[in-house]
Amino acid sequence: MAYRRSLLMEERLANNRDRILTATRKLVAEGGFREAQIAAVAAVAGISTGMIYRYFPSKAELFVEVLGAAVGAEIEILTAIADGPEPAGMRLSAAVTCFVRRALHGPNLAYAFIIEPVDPEVETARIRYRKEFGDVFKAILIDGVEKGELPAQDVDASAACIVGAFTEALVGPIGPTTRNTRDKERLVESVRTFCLRAVGGVTEGEDGHEKLSQTIRTTRKRQTTK
């Protein structure tokens, strides 16, 4: 026996994996999945193309992992909001606002996640993730309807509609258009109003709004610094 993986090596391996993921995320954020070819990822990560296949069985699985990580982060934030003690309408407002705002301000991972054409394997994952988003909203809706805060409705359809609504509203704005903060906030507010009305929540009377905003900020910070 003349070789056994040392602790140092173990670390370097993990490091490599990380660099691949980071490189992919960076490329996707800059130019979508389209720009994240294996050769490019390898170049950015500073390794050879062959290396990538030591860590990921295929490009599709690499993409799925990147997508999953990013979606997971968003889901965590949204879930924190959804699980709060506020009335359903308010939580819904906060969740929509939070998602749209983050998508608008963040790097344009959003475009890739929302609509960019990809191969079917990744697409399947994307649809699954979209459903996950829907489930967060669905939970809020179920709760709201149970407590009589929202009118009875088809929560599955409503949840899907909500995800679709803010998704579509983002597609245009996200692309090359660089809008200023004022425009962005206007869009956020428009989408929020739309969604809230849609499920029969009130749009007026925003008491307690500040408290929830606080929750959002805290959650977001926790997420970013992790």
Rounded distance, CA 70 to CA 125, Å? Answer: 12
160, interface contact from DNA, a second copy, none, CB < 5-8 Å by kind: a second copy
Q: How far is the CB of 168 from a second copy (least distance, A)?
A: 2
| Rg of the chain, C-alpha, whole Å | 20
Q: How far is the CB of 27 from a second copy (least distance, A)?
A: 16
Please tell me whether residue 48 binds DNA under the rule CB under 7 A. yes
Smaller CB separation from a second copy, 14 or 127? 127
Contacts (Cβ under 8 Å, ≥6 apart) of 120: none
Q: At what angle do helices 120-146 and 88-105 cross, to 10 degrees?
A: 150
Residues lying near a second copy in the complex (CB under 8 A) are found at 34, 115, 117-120, 123, 127, 130-131, 153-154, 157-158, 160-169, 171-172, 186-187, 189-191, 193-195, 197-200
Residue written as token pair 């939970």: 139
Under rule CB under 7 A, residue 120 binds DNA? no
Name the residue nearer to a second copy (CB basis): 23 or 187: 187
DSSP 176: S
Residue of the chain from 47, 73, 160, 202 that contacts DNA (CB under 7 A): 47
How far from the centroid of its chain's Cα atoms is residue 1's Cα? 47
